[in-house]
Amino acid sequence: MMWYFATQYMVIVTILNGIGQMKRSLYTIAALFSLCLAAFASEHLTVGQPAPDFELSDQNGQLHSLEDYRDHWVVLYFYPKDQTPGCTTEACEFRDNIFAFREIGAQILGVSLDDVESHQKFAEKYELPFPLLADVEGKAAEAYNVKTRMLGMKVAKRQTFLIDPDGNLAKHYEDVNPSEHSQQVLADLKELGAGTSATP
C-alpha cells in the first residue's frame, strides 16, 4: 500500500513540475512576443514613407500641423521636458543656428508633452525663435513611436525626424547628443539638398 501511495505521489509531482515548466515556457513565449511587438512598433516608421500629421498648439496658442509646412523641410525634434539641462542645451543650439536653418528653408518644430504655459516660459527664458508644440495627450509622440515613461512620468524620447517638402520622412535620429545635434542636422539637410531651391 505504501508503495502505491509513493507511486501516486511521484506521478502528481511529475505532473505539477510539468505544469510549472509549461507556465514558464508560456511566460517566455509571451515575453518574446512582447519584445517582437516593441521592435516592430519602433521600426514601422521608415524613411520614404509619409510622416504622420498632427495638429498642436505652440507656446503662443497658435495651431500648427505638418500640412502647414508642405513644400518646406521640417526638423521635428521631440524632447523629454522643458527647462531640463539636456533639453535646454538642445533648444539653445537650434536657436543659435536659426539663421542657417532659415537660409536653407528649413522649419524647426520642438515637441514635448509639456503644456502651452510651460512652453511659453521655456521659450521666453531662452528666447527660442521657433515653435514649441504642446503634445499634452501624447498623440504625436505615439504616432512617431517616441512616447515613453521616465521617473514615473509620460514623456517623449529625445529623437528627431527630418521631413522633406513632400511630407515624407527623410531621416530619423534615434541617438541624439544635445550639444552637437543642431550642427549634425544642418549638415544632413544640406547633404539631402535642402536650400537648393530655397528663396532668399
Q: 56, 87, 169, 170: which is the annotated catalytic residue?
A: 87
Residue pair 165/68 in contact by the 8 Å Cβ criterion: no
Q: How far apart are CA 79 and CA 113, in angstroms?
A: 9
Q: Is 36 a catalytic residue?
A: no
Q: How far apart are CA 176 and CA 158, in angstroms?
A: 7
Residues designated catalytic: 87
